[in-house]
Amino acid sequence: MSEAVEARAAAVAERFTELYGAEPEGVWAAPGRVNLIGEHTDYNDGFVMPFALPHTAVAAVARRTDGVLRLHSADIEGGAVELTLDALAPESDRNWTAYPAGVVWALREAGHTAITGADVHLTSTVPTGAGLSSSAALEVVVALALNDLYELGLKGWQLARLCQRAENVYVGAPTGIMDQTASACCEAGHALFLDTRDLSQKQIPFDLAAEGMRLLVVDTQVKHAHSDGEYGKRRAGCEKGAALLGVDALRDVPYAGLDAALAGLGDEEEVRRLVRHIVTENERVERVVSLLEAGDTRAIGPVLVEGHASLRDDFRISCPELDLVVDTALAAGAVGARMTGGGFGGSAIVLVEAADEETVTKAVADAFAAAGYTAPRVFAAVPAPGARRLV
Ligand code: ADP
Ligand code: MG
């Protein structure tokens, strides 16, 4: 455990004791994530490849026996919010508390009625709304704490499913399974190759430091207002494509059969573009897996660039800020770059030789200043461990 996380765990435990007047039973951490490749494939039963960030949500938790859930975030103004377990109901809460409360609701709904309450105090270093999944970090840290304390015996992928249900049904946000699985199951120095159909997974070595490379996360700090509606439209378009092609999900369209599938879509031009993105994106994930397994990290650069073009031109979810990051970084010598996450803002990733990190970072900052955009936040991401107990 790094000193930084150790110090945070101690501070979170101390604050818990001040707030609730008793010591926590333990302290847990769950990370945010960045997706290396495999965008919008997770609701098409396809492949994704996230890795965990060193940024984490840290929670101190203790059980209660009286059916009460108390929630407090150091990052939100105000005191602890007190909820009654029996009164938890989907879409009843529009505040941050819906994420942890939704997890408790989903666990109890799934039959884990041994859960009789909890006191939770948490804080997170995952930036919110930057496409780095601060929401999944929040859900998973609470799920893991309750799994341990109430000895539920659930595995990481099972916790991920319940956290996804919390977000989909309780919070009311239609997200895929990638974020929660990444937070629950990633390992340090690896990217997680995840088949979102059956949640089978494989840890793929992705040790950038050993290769003399860096992966920069560039948070554009923009979120275009229509992003939620556009997500729903893409999702519906993909479902329409699957229906027209007579498959359960676009995952079932083989890459080798793509041309025939596209030809079979008649004059459905928009659906054709969506189908082409999903089918080629799944192939790109498989290519990145092969390259990394062969130790050829630099060769994934052009695959990331292809992925960006597909998201920009076929899936049409990029935006001027994300395109500017990618174009500028590549022109300044980056090995690869693409937008990551849902699109219409959020973050891009840039793969660079360590020696080029400064030049590329400066080029992007200068380009943003010249365009009159808010300065982006840039950090180098090292594949970090997934959710775990700290104390
Ligand atoms: P993302 O997951 O991409 O960061 P979301 O909109 O899915 O963005 O989730 C962000 C929401 O998660 C915040 O608006 C807030 O409700 C909740 N959240 C994230 N981090 C914290 C935190 N440290 N304390 C309280 N709520 C948080
Ligand atoms: Mg989220």
The mean pLDDT of 184-212, rounded to a whole number, is 96
Residue nearest (by alpha carbon) to ligand 1 atom 12: 135
Q: Is the CB of 131 under 6 A from ligand 1?
A: yes
- Which residue from 93, 134, 139, 167 has its CB within 8 A of the most atoms of ligand 1, so it is best to mutate? 134
d(CA 135, ligand 2 centre) in Å: 4
252 is catalytic: no
Contacts of 21 (CB under 8 A, 6+ apart): none
What atom in ligand 1 is closest to the CA of residue 342? 3
How many Å apart are CA 298 and CA 170, to the nearest integer? 42
Q: What is the complex's ipTM, to 2 decimals?
A: 0.99
Q: Where are the domains of the chain?
A: 3-205+384-389, 208-380
Q: CA 348, 353, 355, 356 torsion: positive or negative?
A: negative
Pairwise CA distance, residues 64 & 36, whole Å: 40
Q: Say which amino acid occupies 265.
A: L
Interval between CA 26 and ligand 2 midpoint (Å): 25
The protein residue with its alpha carbon nearest to ligand 1, atom 20, reads: 134
How far, in Å, from the CA of 134 to the mean position of ligand 2?
6
Residue 3 has pLDDT above 80, yes or no: no
pLDDT at 291: 98
Beta bridge partners of 253: none
Counting DSSP H helices and E strands in the chain, the numbers are 11, 13
In contact, 370 and 228? CB cutoff 8 Å: no
Q: Tell me how many degrees the CA angle 200-203-208 measures, rounded to the nearest 5.
A: 150
Do 193 and 178 contact (CB within 8 A), yes or no?
A: no
Name the binding residues. Answer: 39-42, 73, 129-135, 167, 231
Q: What is the pLDDT of residue 131?
A: 87
The type of residue at 151 is: E
Top-tier CATH class for 3-205+384-389: alpha beta
For 216-273, how does the pLDDT look when each residue is reduced to its tens digit (9 = 90+)? 999 999 988 777 789 889 999 999 999 999 999 999 999 999 999 999 999 999 999 9
Sheet holding 81-84, edge to edge: 81-84, 68-73, 117-124, 50-63, 26-35, 388-389
Nearest partner of 277 among 320, 308, 240, judged by Cα: 308
Residues in Cβ contact with 249 at an 8 Å cutoff, skipping those fewer than 6 apart: 44, 45, 46, 197, 242
**Separation between Cα atoms, residue 151 and residue 166, nearest integer Å:** 20
Strand, helix or coil for residue 83: strand
In the reported structure, the alpha carbon of residue 167 is separated from the centroid of ligand 1 by a whole-number distance in angstroms of 11
Contacts of 296 (CB under 8 A, 6+ apart): none
pLDDT at 36: 98
* Dihedral (CA of 206, 133, 179, 386) sign: positive
CA–centroid distance, residue 47 to ligand 2 (Å): 19
Q: Tally Cβ neighbours within 10 Å of residue 134.
A: 23
Taking Cα atoms as reference points, which of 166, 178, 29, 21 lies closest to residue 105?
A: 166
Residue 289 reports pLDDT greater than 60: yes
Catalytic hit among 179, 219, 314, 356: 179
What's the DSSP call for residue 130?
S
Instruction: Tell me which of 58, 120, 128 to substitute to probe ligand 1's pocket, judged by most ligand atoms within 8 Å of the beta carbon.
Output: 128
Under 8 Å between Cβ of 182 and 204: no
Nearest CA to 386 among 115, 119, 155, 98? 155
Q: Which atom of ligand 1 is nearest to the CA of 131?
A: 3
- Fold matches, 3-205+384-389 and 208-380: no
| Unique residue bearing structure tokens 């059980």 | 63
Pocket-testing residue among 93, 126, 135, ligand 1, by greatest number of atoms within 8 A of Cβ: 135
Which amino acid, 211? E
Cβ of 228 closer than 6 Å to ligand 1, yes or no, is no
- The pLDDT assigned to 225 comes to 74
Q: Which residue has the higher pLDDT, 229 or 102?
A: 102
pLDDT digits (tens, 9 = 90+) for 9-46: 999 999 999 999 999 999 999 999 999 999 999 999 99
> Encoding tokens for residue 264?
């079979």
Architecture of the CATH domain 208-380: 2-Layer Sandwich (3.30)
Please indicate whether residue 231, judged by its CB atom, sits closer than 6 Å to ligand 1.
no
Measured from the CB, is residue 99 less than 6 Å from ligand 1?
Answer: yes
